[in-house]
Each structure stands twice: as C-alpha cells, then as structure tokens.
Structure 1
Amino acid sequence: MGNKVQSAGSTPRVILAMFFIAMMFFILGFVTWLNGALIPFLKIVCDLNNFQALWVTFAFYIAYTIMALPSAAVLSRTGYKKGMALGLGVMAVGALLFIPAAKSSQYGLFLLALFTLATGMTLMQTAINPYIVCIGSRESAAMRISIMGLFNKGAGIVVPLVFSALMLSGIDQYSDSALAAMDATARAAARAELSSRLIFPYLAMAGGLVVFMLIILFSSLPELPQEDLPSSGGEPVGAMGVLQFPQLVLGALALFAYVGVEVIAGDTIGLYGQNLGVQNFAVLTSYTMGFMVLGYCLGVVAIPKYLSQKGALILSAVNGILFSLGVILGSSSSTAISAALLGWAGVPLVPDTVMFLALLGFANALVWPAIWPLALEGLGKYTAAGSALLIMAIAGGALLPMVYGGLSDAGHTQRAYWIMLPCYALILYYALHGHKLRSWGTSGQALKRA
C-alpha cells in the first residue's frame, strides 16, 4: 500500500474512511434492493408480464458491463474520492429521471432512469471495492468486504419495508381482478395514480444523494496513492491480457452465475409471492436480505479464523444447490418451514418454496467476498484490469433473471427456478478446482497455494 493509506491506517482517519465507505455500501444496497419491490409495482403500473417486468433487472445490471471500463478510465483521471462523489451525482440524475417516468407511466423512461442510476453505481463500485481491499491487509479483505456487506444487505432489509409503507397502501384495489373489472378510462386513471406515488420518494432520494456527494467531496477521506489507480503501474496493461489468468476468467464466470442467482433470489421473490397470492409480497425481498445478513455475520466471525475463503465458497455452493432443490420441489401451500425458522419472531409466515428462495440469501452471502480475493491472486500489474472484468461479470444479474422470466411465462413459475442449479454447480467447480488453475495448458496448471 502507498504512504497515504499507510499513514491513515494508524489514525482515526481510517475509521472515518471506513464509516464513509460503509455509508456508500448502504446507499448501493438501498438502490439495488429497491428493485425487488419495484418490479411487482411496475408490473401493475405498466401492465407487464413477468418477462417484461424483469427488464428492470436487465436495464439495471447491464450498466455494470457497459460502464465498468469507462468507470476505470474516469477513476484514472479523478482519483477514487472524486470518482465516488461523481458516482453519487450520476445516481442523483437517475433518481430525478423517475419523476418524468412516473408522470408519464412510460416503461422505457423507467428503464432509462434505472440504467442511469446503475451507471453512477458502477463508478462507485469500481472505486470502493479496491478501496476497501487496499485500506487494510489482503488476508483480511474478505472479512472487511463482509462487514461492508452487512451495510449493503442491511439496506436490503429496510428498503422493501419502507417502500411497502410509503407506496403500497390500498394495493388491493390494483389487483388483476380489480383492474379487470374497471373500464379502460378508470383503469388508466388508477395506474396513473399508483405511478405518481413514486415522485416524492425519488425526489427525496435525489436530494439525499446530492447532499452525501457534497459531504464526500469536502470530507477528509484519504485518497489511494497514484500507483493503485487503474491507469498507473508502469507500462500500459492491455485489457485482453487478463484472459491469460484462468483463476480470474473462471472467477468472473462464477461471479456472473452468482450475481444472477443473487438477483433471482432477491428480485423475483416478490413476483413469485404475488403469483402465489402471498399478501405481503412487496416485503419478501426483506426475507432474502435478512438471511443474507446472517450469512455475512458468519463471514465476519468465521473468516479466516475458522473458515477459509475456499471453504466458505464450497459451503455456499452446496447450500445453494440444496435450497434451489427446495424451491423447485417444495410445497407452495405449506408454511411449516417458515413457522419453524421464523415463527418465534412473529413475522408473517410464507409458503415453503418462498422460504427456500429466501434462504438462498444465506447461501449467497459469502460468494462475493470469497471469489474476489481468489480471482485476483497473483495478477500483479493486471489487478486493476482484472477488477474491471469482475465488475463486468455483474451482467449475470441482467441476463439470468430474464431467462427465469421467460421460463416462468412459458410454463410453471416454480419449476423455472431450475436455472439456478447449473449456476451453483459452476460456483462449486470454481471453489474445488477452478481457483487453483494458473495456466490454460494441459499440465502443471493446478498449482497449489503456497
């Protein structure tokens, strides 16, 4: 690490830096996991089927793939601190775009607003992930990322509850049967009224993002030294050069699969619950995020003292396969599992298949913090380009939910979740073997770690 971070590490400034980064992880989680509640909401407002509604996830997550390399280029010019502030500013613009979208109820404008929001988030992600790694020792990076994940997924618990309280009062009058009973004029007026509820929350969000942008810009947040920036480190590093590292390429594929199943578990659970007639369908993302927070707590406590990063990844993949089978084969009428796990807490009970979908949050929690250090190990001067490739793998959240949406519209919504099984199988392969590869050759490639 460079001198700026090292000197900050022994002072309260690093604590302040961790606080600001934690707040940014909370903001990222707040905006990201709002999609889970927004999807069934826009399905009603814009009269969509499941596949069309899941364009929300596509527009949001595809921005990470398109904007990852431009974000790295921006950071090379601005530095990390100004890059974070700029990301918050772009997010504020995206929030403001929700106002004309809500007034017109035009789905295309909603998708543009989501893409703009995610563009700002891509810039922030590209900055804060290496920042949180570089601010401490690499051996404890997964633990620090897990701590930040608590803030990110904690926001995922809060958001659906807030959205439900603000936006979904009297939602029964907008059910499919209620809307079908109206004439065309009344139906359009009802949808317009529901859409207009988005204006104040997103206006408030834009204001909050601008305020926090100014706080970051004028804060004493320490800057990473120039040698840690994407454009530096001696001679230019070609983007294609990272493809020589199997542990990185396979890690990116594993992250692609992981983000896909994470988004399916968090963002389709509301749609699935709505299809089953679950009354509290808009808050079901909170169930998934609650189990994810539990998984992050396990990571903070266990990694690396009791559980290696490889062991965490194996455990996550096996649990993902088992819980996916529970979703596909379980009962959609029994509530026995949620009664056993959550009955003591007094929360509304949900069908077993919904509970298995929520439990995937626990299975998914440690995948992201475990893959990053394994994938970047041994990259040297290619680390920054490798980080950009891993950020681009977030496209899994754009594409795989769309596959689920198409399968669910074509057949049974429950059976469509089989798409998650090959994803967890890929993650398991990476945990057992893929992360050890150091060459694409046929011999001597599986080098053991020192």
Structure 2
Amino acid sequence: MNNTETVGYLQERKRQVISVAILAFMFFIFGFVSWVNAILIPYFKIACELTHFQSYFVAFAFYIAYFVMAIPSGLLLKRVGFKRGIMYGFLLMALGAFIFVPAALTRQFAIFLIGLFSIGTGLAILQTAANPYVTIIGPIESAAQRMSIMGICNKFAGIVSPLIFAAIIFKATDHQLFDAIELGNMSDAVRSAMLDELIRRVILPYTILGFLLLLAGVGIRYSILPELDTDHETAVVKVEEEQRSRKRLIDFPYLVLGAIAIFLHVGTQVVAIDTIINYAGSMGIGLLDAKVFPSYTLTATIIGYVLGIMLIPRVISQRTALVCCTSLGLLLSLGVIFADWNLTLFGHEANASIWFLALIGFPNALIYAGIWPLSIRGLGRFTKTGSSLLIMGLSGNAVLPLIYGALADAYGLRIGYWSLIPCFLYLVWFALMGHKIEYWGRTKK
C-alpha cells in the first residue's frame, strides 16, 4: 500500500468511526425519548387521573406511529434522501416535545397523546433511516457487532432517562402529595390546583428537549455522515434465481412470520419495562423509589448485549442464541406469574415476581437481533419493502401494553402478565421452526 492509498484508507476509516459515533448518538436519542415512557405512564396516571388501561395509551400513541409511518417513511427517504429525512425526523420529534407545553397548561391527556404521536412519527423516520446506515456504514460481516453497539447506546439511554426525568420533575416531598391525591380528602379546587402544578413541571424540560432535537437534526443534516444510494444496492443484495418468480412480500413466509415475531417481541419488551413501576407500586413501593426499576430491566438488557458481542458467533450461533433467549423469556414470564415469595435486592423488599420481570430484559437483548437477519435474508429487490414491514412490526409496542392494561384493570396487575405467555410461545416456535418456512406449506430442509 503506497502513501496515497494509506492516506485514503485512514481518511475513510476516520469517516467510518465518526459516522458510527453519529449513529450511536442517534440511537441514544431513540432510547432516551422512548424509554422515558416508563415513568411518563405512572406520572400521567396520577396527574391526569387515568385508569391503568388509559395510561398505557402513552405507549400506544408513541409506538403506533411505527405502523402508520413505516412505509411513508421509506417513501420520504427515497424522495428527499436519508440525511434530509433524518433532519425531518428530528423536526417532528421537536414538534412533539413542544406540544407538551399547551398539553401541560391545559392538563389535557389527549393533547399529550398528539405530542407523543409526533415524537413517535419522527422516530419512525429515524429508525427507518438508521438501520440501513448501521448495516452499510462498515464491513457487512461486522454489521451485527455494530447493531449490538447501537443497542447498548439505546438501552443505556433508557437507564438514565427515567432517572433524569424523575430528578427534574419530582420533589422530595412528593410522597405526601401522592398520598393526599390518592386519599382524595380534599376539595375539587385544591385537588385540581395540585394536579395542575404537578403536570406543568414538564414544560421546561420538554421545551429544552425540543430545542436540543432541533439542533441535533440540523447538525446531522450537515455532518460528514455519507448519503446512502439505495437505488444501486444490487452489489450488496443479490437476487437468487428462484426468487425472481416471487411477486409479493406475502410470497416470503419467513418474512411475514418474522414481522409477527418482531411485533410480539417488542411488545414483551415494552410491557416488561413500561409496566414495572406500576407493578412495584402494587407492592407498596412509592413512585419516587420505583423509578429505578426500569433501569434494572435495561441493565439486564445491556448485559445481554455484551454477552452477545462476546459469544456470537465464536461460541454460540445466532440461531441457537435466539432459541435459548426465547425459551428463557418464556420461563421468566412464568416466574412473573407464579413466583410468590418476598425478596430483598438493592434495598427494595418486594415480591420475587418483580425481579423475574426485570430479568426478562436479559434474553430480550438478543431476540430482536436474532429475528431480523432470519426474516430479511435473500429478499433481493424486496429488501426495502421487507424492512418497512419489519419496522411496522414495532407497533407491537403500542398494542401489547393496552392488552396488559385491560387485563390488569379487570383481573389485577400480576394476572396482566399472562399476556406475555402466548408471545413467547410464538417466539420459541419461530426460533425453532417458523424461520425455516420458505414457501407456504413447506419448510426448509
């Protein structure tokens, strides 16, 4: 390699490193605005006087945007380019943050949901753009490693965001406030004034967040992150001869089954994280103390990512890891339902079932990364639309919490976790058999 080639290699390597750092920052933002929902749900439940079912519309409004916007996001990126599309995504997220201001001033939950949908819409655009970047920005053989790094950034943001939110929003004396609201022994005027003061605490932090998102969008638009040319991707994805006869996405059973698997997997993930604070509350743990429980779940997830980076594929294959993780998720879900003894960990005395719930984060770390390549393989010219279908599967984050909330209101918080069992049963089946189905009615030999 001569000097010119060396300089060119070093420059390209530097650009790759900076691009990966930009993407890592984006995934941190994704995690920060997504996983703060874990504390927004109980916060809105108190301040807006909601049932469990109503409070989980926080997750529904946020994540249903993935279903609504997945295909439009792909069309937008094709029309305006990936970098400009990323900027538009950040602008929509900033708009959603600013909508929190009138929502807080009027204490109208419906307006908060509009803001959350706007944030989710922007995030759907960003996710649609970011996943191809992670795959293409470096050598294809190390794409899984880069995806794991992005996952760690995402989940680390999830650990700190509820803690930061709680530190900004809540006061040390709020225990008395929550107790007084729950007892209800005050006049309607006093109660309304207390709730108005509580909900308006979001105005300053979400105004600041909105401006930061604006700056991030403009900054990435004019950064050195390369523009992707996906119209000439045949060098990356080859079309197999037998697939030339396939005319529709439905002709790829493993893709359709994989989208269902993504839907159920992300649903179990958000249920395990976004419901755990309310579940801790049912054990007598106040909101100010329960705020750390999502961090326990996400810490377990990060440990799963790290082990995945270390062990896959050198020690264990990606498919075997998927089988093990889905099976472990099923066993832990049964533990949530049936474990019934007290256990003290990290200074919290609670029923052991909540620790099984937190541990679900560990196997969930590698399930998404296992489903995606098995579902997207060999799609050829259908890769873009296939990716959009899988992104639509992320709407499971919207639906499963509502199912949990309905069961929790009707039968109790613990019974609500029965919603996890059929999800993990399907995921185990997909890991063992579903991904092998090449044609309807026939499995891969």
**Of 165, 173, 191, the match for 2:176:** 173
| Counterpart AA for 2:32 | F
C-alpha distance 247-335 of structure 1, shift in aligned 2 (>3 A)? same
Q: Show the 5 A alignment for 1:264-275.
A: 264-275=271-282
2:112 aligned residue: 110
1:447 aligned residue: 444
Q: Name the SS for the 1:47 alignment partner.
A: coil
| Counterpart AA for 2:84 | K
Q: Identity of paired residues, percent?
A: 42
1:3 aligned residue: none
Residues 274-329 of structure 1 show CA distances to partners (whole Å, capped at 9, x for unaligned) of 22221312222111111111111111111222222211211111111111011101
2:342 aligned residue: 334
After TM superposition, the score normalised by the length of structure 2 is: 0.92
**Of 21, 35, 38, the match for 1:36:** 38
Q: Name the SS for the 1:335 alignment partner.
A: strand
**Of 313, 324, 335, the match for 1:304:** 313
Q: Show the 5 A alignment for 1:185-196.
A: 185-196=189-200
Contact 2:265 2:427 in 1 (8 A): yes
Q: Show the 5 A alignment for 1:27-106.
A: 27-106=29-108
Structure 2: how far apart are the matches of 1:362 and 1:240?
39
Q: Quote the offset at 1:140 in angstroms.
A: 3.2
Structure 1: how far apart are the matches of 2:232 and 2:139?
14
**Of 186, 202, 205, the match for 2:206:** 202
Contact 1:142 1:309 in 2 (8 A): no
| Counterpart AA for 1:261 | T
Q: Name the SS for the 1:278 alignment partner.
A: coil
Structure 1: how far apart are the matches of 2:280 and 2:256?
36
C-alpha distance 422-155 of structure 1, shift in aligned 2 (>3 A)? same
Residues 218-270 of structure 1 show CA distances to partners (whole Å, capped at 9, x for unaligned) of 1111111242689xx99xx9x98111101111100100110110010010111
C-alpha distance 140-429 of structure 1, shift in aligned 2 (>3 A)? farther
1:224 aligned residue: 228
Structure 2: how far apart are the matches of 1:371 and 1:386?
13
Structure 2: how far apart are the matches of 1:53 and 1:7?
52
Residues 43-68 of structure 1 show CA distances to partners (whole Å, capped at 9, x for unaligned) of 01110010010011111111100011
Structure 2: how far apart are the matches of 1:23 and 1:228?
27
Structure 2: how far apart are the matches of 1:181 and 1:165?
28
| Most deviating of 102-111 and 240-249 | 240-249
Structure 2: how far apart are the matches of 1:76 and 1:207?
27
Structure 1: how far apart are the matches of 2:174 and 2:42?
11
The answer as to 2:251 corresponding to 1:244 is yes
| Most deviating of 72-81 and 139-148 | 139-148
Q: Show the 5 A alignment for 1:133-144.
A: 133-144=135-146
Structure 2: how far apart are the matches of 1:90 and 1:21?
18
Contact 2:90 2:122 in 1 (8 A): yes
Equivalenced residue count is 429
Structure 2: how far apart are the matches of 1:183 and 1:68?
47
Contact 1:58 1:398 in 2 (8 A): yes
Structure 2: how far apart are the matches of 1:137 and 1:245?
27
Q: Name the SS for the 1:277 alignment partner.
A: coil
| Most deviating of 404-413 and 130-139 | 130-139
| Most deviating of 351-360 and 111-120 | 351-360
| Counterpart AA for 1:311 | T
| Most deviating of 116-125 and 172-181 | 172-181
Q: Name the SS for the 1:378 alignment partner.
A: coil
Structure 2: how far apart are the matches of 1:150 and 1:265?
17
Structure 2: how far apart are the matches of 1:93 and 1:286?
27
| Counterpart AA for 2:401 | P
Q: Show the 5 A alignment for 1:250-399.
A: 250-279=257-286, 280-331=289-340, 334-336=342-344, 339=345, 343=346, 348=348, 350-399=350-399
Any unmatched runs of 5+ in structure 2? 1-7, 239-243
| Counterpart AA for 2:323 | I
Q: Quote the offset at 1:10 in angstroms.
A: 4.1
Structure 2: how far apart are the matches of 1:174 and 1:383?
53
| Counterpart AA for 2:269 | E
Residues 316-353 of structure 1 show CA distances to partners (whole Å, capped at 9, x for unaligned) of 1111111101110112x6115xx3xxx5xxx5454311
Q: Quote the offset at 1:176 in angstroms.
A: 5.2
Structure 2: how far apart are the matches of 1:191 and 1:26?
31
Any unmatched runs of 5+ in structure 1? 1-5
Residues 180-228 of structure 1 show CA distances to partners (whole Å, capped at 9, x for unaligned) of 1211011000100000100011011111111111210111111112426
C-alpha distance 228-314 of structure 1, shift in aligned 2 (>3 A)? farther
C-alpha distance 94-427 of structure 1, shift in aligned 2 (>3 A)? same
Contact 2:67 2:393 in 1 (8 A): yes
Structure 2: how far apart are the matches of 1:60 and 1:226?
28
| Counterpart AA for 1:269 | I
Q: Quote the offset at 1:446 in angstroms.
A: 2.2
* RMSD between aligned residues: 2.4
